[in-house]
A = this chain, B = another copy of it.
């Protein structure tokens, strides 16, 4: 039976959510982590003279930032423009997001006593601008909206180190040296992340991604002991909302089976693990998202195409793949490369 163009459009709008549920799709959906970012001249213009947190806290601007990439290319999902440090900033942590550096925390958290500075998060009161942005976006969007949060470990690493880190020395020292303080910190952040994501879903986010970007610094033993219980609590705590839950981290090849154990519907994979191997590790009964090396997008198109097709080949024959990069879009990425990538993925995966 012929599919009408309206049905096609509906299938298209639904493509991303269907893939998250491992249902058949008309084409493989695609979006990009940091698709609203510095690689877009219109994003740089929007940021001109403004701080990232100011953008995050102004619903009209955050809405505009979220929509920018959708005017450029036919991505199958929008992701809320925000920053993983927004909820902790709203919990009383004095921090700033410095360009080219990342989050810098004025007074790092390194003991149980320091935890008193992190008050309980009431998302509608403390981060009303996020919920308002989601409500505005849902009125504008033809594709699903992904909400998101940083995972407790990754947020904790900034709070404990005071900023971005290479070796996570203080974070690991707290974990191993003061496990009770660590557990308190993870509980506090886990409560906040869960409440924050539930509020995003209530406001209209149709899926959520939890970014545990730096958890790949841990070995599996430490992940099981110090991170997994909190992650499981977060994903379990979202079940009744019916939202689709994506779990992502970088350099997590060894942690993939454990990240799946945490309970998401889909696991995001960086570029280091060939996608079919990653899928085997997480289990074929959850979806996978990824995993083109973002640095490859700076190479000539032929190289990008070859590597992207290898990703598609590795995902072929199963339901539940969302095409993405293996990490965020790099600022030096040509817009045209991402535009061609979206077309390539859609063309080559037409069922």
Indicate if the CB atoms of B176 and A296 lie closer than 8 Å: yes
Copies of this chain present in the complex amount to 2
A81 to chain B, nearest CB (A): 22
Q: Is A316 an interface residue (CB 8 A)?
A: no
Q: CB < 8 Å: which of B169, B293, B332 contacts A295?
A: B169
Q: CB < 8 Å: which of B216, B221, B253, B298 contacts A169?
A: B298
Indicate if the CB atoms of B271 and A219 lie closer than 8 Å: yes
**Chain B residues whose CB sits within 8 angstroms of the CB of A219 once the complex forms:** 271-274, 293
Complex: chain B residue closest to A175, CB-CB: B299
Complex: chain B residue closest to A172, CB-CB: B295
Chain A 75-97 residues near chain B, CB threshold 8 A:
none
Interface membership of chain A positions 143-181, coded 1 if the CB is closer than 8 angstroms to chain B and 0 otherwise: 000000000000000000000000111001101110000
CB within 8 Å for A172 and B274 given contacts A167-B330, A310-B221, A330-B167: no
Q: How many residues of A contact B (CB 8 A)?
A: 35
Q: Is A108 an interface residue (CB 8 A)?
A: no
Cα–Cα, bound, A222→B295 (Å): 12
CB within 8 Å for A172 and B296 given contacts A219-B272, A272-B219, A303-B177: yes
Chain A 175-234 residues near chain B, CB threshold 8 A:
175-177, 216-222
Q: Is A254 an interface residue (CB 8 A)?
A: yes
Q: CB < 8 Å: which of B168, B176, B254, B298 contacts A273?
A: B254
Q: Is A300 an interface residue (CB 8 A)?
A: yes
Q: List 14 A-B contacts (CB under 8 A).
A: A167-B294, A167-B295, A168-B295, A169-B298, A172-B293, A172-B296, A173-B299, A176-B307, A217-B295, A218-B272, A219-B271, A221-B310, A254-B272, A254-B277
